[in-house]
Amino acid sequence: MCAAGPTNGEAGPPCGQGRHHVTLSGEFDETNSDELRAELQAGLGRRIEVDCSEVTYLGSVGLAVLMDVRQQAEAAGGSLVLTAVSSIVATLLEATELTAYLLQPGPEAG
């Protein structure tokens, strides 16, 4: 399994085979949205798999980054999907009616 991304500043090995796996841990808001965006955008053109099972806070800016990068990924022939979510992220997705949009793979995945 490959891993990368804002996991307390540590990046794992690069991903291969058309996948870019990012494991998020901690809080994501306007203070670190640029770092989140850059890590996710590194996977454009591939299937970006985001594990949010250890996210303790996801602000509106962090959520907007996920939605924006998903649109960019699809335009580049890839996708972005959340592969696991914490209860906090699940509650936010339900409240914003984005569960189906972010938890289901885009057109590229199959």
State how far the Cα of 86 lies from the Cα of 92, in Å rounded to an integer.
10
| 48 conformational bin, left if phi > 0, alpha if psi -120 to 50, beta if neither | beta
Please say whether the beta carbons of 108 and 70 come within 8 A.
Answer: no
> Which residues touch 52 (CB under 8 Å, ≥6 apart)?
24, 58, 82, 84, 85, 86, 89
State pLDDT tens for residues 45-90: 999 999 999 999 999 999 999 999 999 999 999 999 999 999 999 9
Residue 1 has pLDDT above 90, yes or no: no
Backbone φ, ψ for residue 41 (5° rounding): -65, -20
Q: For the chain, which domains are there?
A: 19-103 (3.30.750.24)
